[in-house]
Chain A
Amino acid sequence: MTDSFVRTALALTGALLAWAADFVFVYVFAAIACEKGYAGKTVAGAGIVPLASLVATFAAAGVTIWLLRAAIRGRPANDSCEVFASKTKVAVGALAMIAIGLTALPALLVRGVCA
């Protein structure tokens, strides 16, 4: 495992940071849209807030899946530190995916976005 703390920390928490970016983006977008009155606008028939949420969800999920695949594929047999890192990354990735999934539900299910 690389001895660079920054690289290790980012690698271990990457998927969670993807969720965080997704969450912050949707929250800020919805908050501004509701306050400034844009929430009713539509693009190709879909409301802009659910659309923004969908885009963010796919982006975060994409990053997470990419990280998961890298962690599963790049797993060496012997170095215990590397095994630890890749298994931990897989666990983190799974948790992040669940969080991303739950975070996607509001935009899909809530009817009155700003009510």
Chain B
Amino acid sequence: MQVSASQSAFDPAGANAVLIDRLSSVLYIGAALIFAIVMTLAVVAVFRRASGVPTRAWVLGGGVAIPAVVLTALLAYALAVGNALSDEGPDCGTIIHVNGKRWWWEVRYEQPAGAIVSANELHLPVGRTVKLLLASDDVIHSFWVPALSGKVDMIPGRVNHLMLKADKPGVYRAQCAEFCGAQHAFMAMLVVVHEEGEYERWLEREARPAGSSTDTQAQRGAADFTSAGCAACHTVRGTSAAGRLGPDLTHVASRLTLGAGVLDNNRASLAGWISNSQAVKPGNLMPPIKVPVETLHAITAYVAGLE
């Protein structure tokens, strides 16, 4: 994988993740201290010679009083952090729907001119709170981009929400965090955080339908795309391909990865994926496309041109 993107909660780059990271540090240090104290007592207790001990103080102090105080403080702190996380912040009306599917992500950007449908990559503006509406069409998935926030499950029949604000531009990695079947391990995606102006430009490009290519191979590929059956599952806006079973491919070539974070996006990977995605992601719902080699190259050229 060439694209390097952080999936670490230790590298917080979003408002939520920063708050949780600070809380985590308190927890790690507190836990380490308590462990050190308790284990010192235990080891000393085991290895020293018999001696009397004010037992009431030990059991009541160490077992009841101190934990009660510490836990009350911890709970209050935890609830305060919870409050901070649910502070919605200035709502600038940016709403993005993410729908979990087996084993990919449908992403819909709500726009005044009509929703922009995409897949397997999430684009966000830096510094702005975005409302993600999370749902699933099949089984339970979970949306998790550790560098930006904690996770929220995507449960069929309900819509959960997550307020997300990225603090730094960059590329971060998200991965499904609820076991969803055969290819749960390869249901990932990249989250691209743009500078402000850049985001508007990206949205504008993404909203456009697919352009037509001047390359003859790609033009042939466009026709083969339909005859090979790709249009039954995939949509390419601006053409007759309007399938809804698989990811929207209108701008697939501009994405950083293929197959929901499995492969780098280049011609070779694309050809390999189209001809037999089962070899890369066995059990995924896209069948191998058995076509003559020239057809395969044509379709690949066409799809690789869908920037």
Direct A–B touching in the complex (beta carbon < 8 Å)? yes
CB-based nearest B residue for A109 = B79
Any chain A CB within 8 A of the CB of B209? no
Q: Is the CB of B72 within 8 A of A110?
A: no
Given A109-B79, A109-B80, answer yes or no on A102-B71 (Cβ-Cβ < 8 Å): yes
Q: A112-B83, A112-B86 are in contact. Are A94 and B64 (CB under 8 A)?
A: yes
- Chain A residues bordering chain B, tally (CB within 8 A): 12
Q: Is the CB of A110 within 8 A of B79?
A: yes
Q: How far is the CB of A78 from chain B (nearest CB, A)?
A: 22
Q: Provide the residues of chain B in CB contact with A98, threshold 8 Å.
A: 64, 68
Determine whether the beta carbon of A105 is less than 8 Å from that of B79.
Answer: yes
- Bound form: Cα–Cα A66–B80 in Å: 33
A109 touches B68 (CB 8 A): no
Binary CB contact string for chain B from 80 to 116 against chain A (1 if under 8 A, 0 otherwise) = 1011001100000000000000000000000000000
Q: How large is the interface on B (under 10, 10 to 19, 20 to 34, 35 or more residues)?
A: 10 to 19
B-chain residues with CB within 8 Å of residue A111 when the two chains form the complex: 83, 86-87
Q: Which residues of chain A are within 8 angstroms of B1 by Cβ–Cβ distance?
A: none
In the complex, which residues of chain A have a beta carbon less than 8 angstroms from the beta carbon of B71? 102
Q: Which residues of A contact B87 (CB under 8 A)?
A: 111
Contact B82 A110 (CB under 8 A): yes
A106 CB–B CB distance under 8 Å: yes
Measured CA separation A110–B80 after assembly (Å)? 7
Tell me, rounded to whole Å, the shortest Cβ–Cβ distance linking B109 to chain A.
24
User: A interface vs B, CB < 8 Å?
Assistant: 94-95, 98, 101-102, 105-106, 109-112, 115
Q: Could you list 19 A-B pairs, sorted by A, with CB under 8 Å?
A: A94-B64, A95-B64, A98-B64, A98-B68, A101-B72, A102-B71, A102-B72, A102-B75, A105-B75, A105-B76, A105-B79, A106-B79, A109-B79, A110-B79, A111-B83, A111-B86, A111-B87, A112-B86, A115-B86
Whether B86 and A105, one on each chain, are in contact in the complex, defined by CB atoms closer than 8 angstroms, is no
Minimum CB–CB distance from B301 to chain A (whole Å) comes to: 49
A106 to B75, CA, bound (A): 9
In the bound complex, what is the Cα–Cα distance between A91 and B79 (angstroms)?
28
Contacts of A101 in B (CB 8 A): 72
Q: How far is the CB of A98 from chain B (nearest CB, A)?
A: 5
- Name which of A95, A102, A109 has the most chain B CB atoms within 10 A of its CB: A109
How many whole Å from B203's CB to the nearest CB in chain A?
28
In the bound assembly, the distance between CA atoms of A115 and B82 in angstroms comes to 11
Bound together, the chains give a CA A102 to CA B83 distance in angstroms of 17
Contacts of A106 in B (CB 8 A): 79
CA A14 to CA B246, docked complex, whole Å: 58
Contacts of B82 in A (CB 8 A): 110
Cβ-defined contact, B83 with A109, below 8 A: yes
Residue of B nearest to A99 (CB): B68
Complex-state Cα separation, A115 to B163, whole angstroms: 11
- When the two chains form their complex, are residues B83 and A110 in contact, meaning their CB atoms are under 8 A apart? yes
**Cα distance A109–B86 when bound, in Å?**
13
Indicate if the CB atoms of A105 and B72 lie closer than 8 Å. Answer: yes
Cβ contacts under 8 Å, A112 to chain B: 83, 86
Which single residue of chain B is at the shortest CB-CB distance from A102? B75
Once the chains are docked, how many angstroms separate the CA of A48 from the CA of B207? 46
For the A-B complex with A102-B72, A105-B72, A109-B76 known, give 10 more contacts whose Cβ atoms are closer than 8 Å.
A98-B64, A101-B72, A105-B76, A105-B79, A106-B79, A109-B79, A109-B80, A109-B83, A110-B79, A112-B86
